[in-house]
Amino acid sequence: MILVRTIVELRSAIAGARGRGSPVSLVPTMGAFHEGHVSLMRRASEEGGLSVVSLFVNPAQFNDPSDLERYPRDEARDARLAEDAGADILFAPPVSQVYPPGFSSSVEVRGVSAPLEGAVRGVEHFRGVATVVTKLFNMVQPDVAFFGQKDAQQALLIRRLVRDLDMPVRVEVCPTVREGDGLAMSSRNVLLAPGDRERAPALYRALTAVERAVAGGVHHPDEALAAGTRVLTEAGIVPEYFAAVSTDTLAPVRRITGETLIAIAARFGAVRLIDNVLVRPAERRG
Ligand code: PAF
C-alpha cells in the first residue's frame, strides 16, 4: 500500500491501473478505523482492480468545533489496518489540498438532507458531506464507492447526489458492523465514558424491539416505536430523535406497510451516537 497526500500524487498512482482497464474502488473515511471500516475496505479489495481508501476528517461537515477537535485521529494505526484490509492506496490529504485558499463552492442535496441528522446538525452538515464526497469522486474517479448502512441518511443522500449529477459511480451500501452487545461500531465509541458505554447498546435493543413489534403485526409507527421507547427509558436514554421514516424520502410514515427505516440518535455526554434498522411487516399468509 502506498500513502499519498496530494491530488497530483493520487492521480499518478491511479493512472497505471486505469490505463490497464482495472476497476478503481473508493472507501471514503474520516479515519479512526474500526471493524466497520475494515469490512468496507475488504469489500473494496474483493472487487479486484485498485482500491483507494481516503482518510480526511472533513471540517466542513462538523457543526460543532469541539466535536471536530475531539474526533479521534491515529493515522499510523489506520494505515496498518488499511494495508491489512487490502487497500492499495491510502489518500490522506491535508485540509489545504481539499479546501485551498479561496475555496467557495458547495454541493447541496435538498430534501433528504433536511430531517433527522439535518434537523439536529443543521444544513451545513450534509452540505459538507455532499461537497467532500463530490470532490473525492472527482479526485479518484472510482467505478464503485463503499459506504456503511449505519449512516443511512448519508447513504441515501449520496445515492441521490450520484443520480442527480450523473456521476458514473456505483454506490454500494454495506451492513452495519456491531460489537458483541449490539452497539453499532463507530469511531466515536472510544470517546464514551465507561457508564455510557454500558448504556449505549440499549439503542440497538430499542431498534430490535421495534423490529419485533413490526414483525409481530404492529403497523402503527407510534405503537411500534413505543416498544423501543420502553427499552430506552429503562436505560435512562432520551433520544434526540427516534423515528419511523420512508426509505425513499425520510418523511415519517403513517403506517408501516413496506420496508421502513427506524432511525435513532442520542447523546451520551458530549458523544452523539446514531443507529438504524430496516423493518418490514410480516408477509400476510394466504
Ligand atoms: O462517513 C464518513 O466517514 C464521512 O461522512 C465521509 C463519507 C467520509 C465524508 O467525509
The finding on whether 30 has its CB within 6 A of some atom of ligand 1 is yes
CA–CA separation, 275 vs 264, rounded Å? 5
| 235-262 pLDDT tens trace | 999 999 999 999 999 999 999 999 999 9
> pLDDT-derived band of residue 132, with 50, 70 and 90 as boundaries?
very high
Listed residue (157, 30, 36) closest to 85, CA to CA: 36
Task: Evaluate if residue 1 carries a pLDDT over 60.
Answer: yes
Q: Note the pLDDT of residue 169.
A: 98
Distance CA 47, CA 160 (A): 23
Per-residue cell: 235: 436505560
Can you list the alpha helix ranges (DSSP code H) found in the chain?
Answer: 7-19, 35-46, 65-70, 75-84, 95-98, 117-121, 123-140, 152-164, 194-199, 202-215, 221-234
Sign of the dihedral defined by the CA atoms of residues 24, 151, 132, 169, in that order: positive
Domain 2-174 in CATH 3.40.50.11540: no
Pick the CATH number of 187-276 from 3.30.2000.10, 3.30.390.50, 3.40.50.2300, 3.30.1300.10: 3.30.1300.10
The 144-148 sheet, strands edge to edge: 2-4, 89-91, 50-55, 24-29, 144-148, 170-174
Q: Could you report how far apart the first and last alpha carbons of the chain are, in Å?
A: 56
129 lines ligand 1 (CB under 6 A): yes
Specify the pLDDT at position 283: 78
Q: Answer whether 133 contacts ligand 1 (Cβ < 6 A).
A: yes
Tell me the DSSP string of 73-136.
--HHHHHHHHHHTT-SEEE---HHHHS-TT-------TTTTSSTHHHHH-HHHHHHHHHHHHHH
Residue 171 Cβ < 6 Å to ligand 1? no
Q: In what order do the strands lie in the sheet with 241-246?
A: 241-246, 260-268, 271-279
Q: Looking at the predicted structure, is the pLDDT value of residue 103 above 70?
A: yes
Q: Take residue 158 and report the three cell numbers written for it.
A: 449520496
Give per-residue pLDDT as tens, 59-101: 999 999 999 999 999 999 999 999 999 999 999 999 999 999 9
Break the chain into its structural domains and give their ranges: 2-174, 187-276
Average pLDDT over residues 3-14: 98
Q: pLDDT at position 17, please?
A: 92
On average, the pLDDT of the chain sits at: 97
Residue with cell 433528504: 112
Choice from 33, 61, 91, 169 to test ligand 1 binding pocket (greatest atom count within 8 A of CB): 61
pLDDT at 286 over 60: no
- Looking at ligand 1, which residue's alpha carbon is closest to its atom 9? 129
